[in-house]
Amino acid sequence: MKGLPLKPKFVAGIAVLALALAYMIYAGVTQSAVYFVTPSELHTAAKTGKAYRLGGMVEKGSVNWKPATLDLRFTLSDGQAKVPVRHHGTAPDLFGEGRGAVVEGTWMSEGYFQATLIMAKHSEEYKAPHDAASPGYQELMKSLRSDQK
């Protein structure tokens, strides 16, 4: 029994499907990648009014939050340079001093970064929310056990 000859339309259809699949994979990977500049890179090539994505560590002691006006100010650092950041609105739950953050916004001529979006980075390391030896944790565990009875 001889093999059936492949028709040109069938081969062309498979080629088109393979190319479409390859393009979708490529587009998905490139769109999900998050690129950002560091504070050092921003200082060397900052252009006023240009949109950037800036990443770094939130400096300890730099967070200034005014809930009445939704004014949030903090400093991002990469260990070599520091960039003051201003944001109008609330920060994400994972945002905090000593943690990584990526902000989107523009560099202002007044010498600060005006953020429109804050993306807080979380640690890959899991830590229990409470120390097992603390009295609050012990009370929580007692109340959970009594609820199960």
Domain that holds residue 113: 39-120
**Of the listed ranges 28-32, 43-47, 50-54, 56-60, the one predicted with least confidence:** 28-32
* Domain presence at residue 28: no
Decide: 105 and 49 in contact? Cβ < 8 Å: no
* Domain presence at residue 54: yes
* Domain presence at residue 48: yes
CA distance 58 to 103: 11
Please report the pLDDT score of residue 2 as a whole number. Answer: 59
Quick: pLDDT tens for 66-123. Answer: 999 999 999 999 989 999 999 999 888 888 898 889 999 999 999 999 999 998 866 5
Please report the pLDDT score of residue 44 as a whole number. Answer: 87
Check which CATH number belongs to the domain holding 90 and give it: 2.40.50.140
* Domain presence at residue 17: no
What integer is the mean pLDDT of 45-63? 89
CA distance 145 to 33: 45
Calculate the average pLDDT of the chain: 80
Is the pTM higher than 0.85? The answer reads no
User: Which of residues 34 and 65 earns the better pLDDT score?
Assistant: 65
Please report the pLDDT score of residue 142 as a whole number. Answer: 59
* Domain presence at residue 146: no
Position 145 pLDDT exceeds 80: no
Q: What b/e string do you get for 105-136 counting C-beta neighbours within 10 Å, with b at 16 or more?
A: bebeeeeebebeebbbbeeeeeeeeeeeeeee
